[in-house]
Amino acid sequence: MSNSNDMIEPFGGFGLGLRRTHYEDFLEGDVPVDFVEVISENYMIEGGRQLRILEEIREKHPVIIHGVSMSIGSAGGLDSDYLDKLKQLERRIDPLWVSDHLCWTRTSAHNSHDLLPLPLTGEALDVVCANIDRARDHLGRPMLFENPSSYLTFPEDELTEWEFLCEMARRTGCYLLLDVNNIYVSSRNHGFSVDEYLSGLPLERVRQIHLAGHTPGEIIIDTHDREVCDDVWALYAKAMKALPQPVATMIERDDKIPPLPELLSELDRARGIASEACEAVLA
């Protein structure tokens, strides 16, 4: 696979989020994954064991670096120190690609350490696009941005989320990380159609899919603490049939992390669904 400064070539592998609990599995064994994804901020550090382990695992598997703190939607712009440290990590690891979320996390005074929702307005779109351009210029490569799960919408919204993502990708040339569970969570919380969402996206810009579990309730919460539910698997199958190019699929688990074989079994289910989707399209 080759990625020029402006392009990210499709990559159709299956991978897992690398978590500390599984370090030894990855260091000592031959884990059947095509890539691992790490949370960027955990490795934007100066040295020590964690960074050394990531470098060792990088020798065995391609790595994707996925951030939670770029705050691409911050009206105050991006944090230069953050960008510098992300670039250092990017140079050190040479990842398949770098991704973050369509959200904001901080103001100039405080950081929420949570993925906060943006009002879907023309002004927010301008801010996001300007920040994406700056991030791309700083890193020297385009990024992927993930559709968030959200728990409220704003009275001032002017666009749907898929319209916002579509315009964002068109104006900046960025790519999309499609979190299928997030589509499901937000659709249930806000009452939109998942089919309308999927068909409204520029699917040719999608390079990766996230699959995760959520906590049901009056408001569904994206907790990443359990297995992917059947409805999300069904939506994944639908997305895989609709996507015009191969994409990387990943299982995300951040809490109540089970032994590795359980996650690999979920990944096998994703492989099966992707394979069926591919056969259905070819037929």
Partner 1 sequence: MSSTDLAERQAVFMQQILDENAPLPQGWGNSQAAGMQVYRGNYRSALMDALGETFERTARYVGEGPFQQVAAHHAITHPPASWTIDDAGAGFDESCAQLFGNNPEVAELAWLEWSMLGLATARDAVPLDGEAFAEETARFGDTDWAAMKLVLAPRAVSKQVAHDLTAMWSALGDEPFEMGDIACDRPRGCLVWREGERPTFTMVDAEEAQAFGAIQSGATYGEVCMLLAGDNASEQAIGDAAMRAGAMLGRWLNEGMIVELA
Query: DSSP class of residue 212?
Result: -
CB of 69 to partner 1, least distance (A): 4
How many residues of this chain interact with partner 1, rule: CB under 8 A?
Answer: 46
Task: Count CA atoms within 13 Å of residue 113 on its CB side.
Answer: 1
How many helices (H) does the chain have, and how many strands (E)?
10, 10
Binding mask 106-135 for partner 1 (x = CB under 8 A): xx-xxxxxx-x--x-xxxx--x--------
- The CA-CA-CA angle for residues 67, 73, 205, to 5°, reads 65
Strand-pair category, 104-106 with 111-116: antiparallel
CB of 151 to partner 1, least distance (A): 4
Q: Which two tokens stand for residue 165?
A: 């993502």
The 3-state DSSP class for residue 162 equals helix
Binders of partner 1 among residues 235 to 274 (CB under 8 A) are: none
Binding mask 179-208 for partner 1 (x = CB under 8 A): ----------x-------------------
The answer to whether 164 touches 202, Cβ cutoff 8 Å, is: no
Binders of partner 1 among residues 144 to 183 (CB under 8 A) are: 150-156
Nearer to partner 1, 46 or 230 (CB): 46
Strand-pair category, 144-146 with 98-101: parallel
The answer to whether 144 touches 8, Cβ cutoff 8 Å, is: yes
Nearer to partner 1, 32 or 76 (CB): 76
Binding mask 59-88 for partner 1 (x = CB under 8 A): ----------x-x--xxx--x-xx------
Tell me how crowded residue 178 is: count the other CB atoms within 10 A of its CB.
25
- The CA-CA-CA angle for residues 164, 170, 176, to 5°, reads 70
Q: Which two tokens stand for residue 219?
A: 């408001």
Nearer to partner 1, 71 or 208 (CB): 71
CB of 83 to partner 1, least distance (A): 10
CB of 276 to partner 1, least distance (A): 35
CB of 24 to partner 1, least distance (A): 15
Q: Which two tokens stand for residue 10?
A: 């499709």
Does residue 24 belong to the site contacting partner 1 (CB under 8 A)?
no
Tell me how crowded residue 54 is: count the other CB atoms within 10 A of its CB.
22
Q: Looking at 7, 27, 219, 280, which residue binds partner 1 (CB under 8 A)?
A: 219
Interface residues with partner 1 (CB under 8 A)? 41, 44-52, 69, 71, 74-76, 79, 81-82, 104-107, 109-114, 116, 119, 121-124, 127, 150-156, 189, 218-219, 221
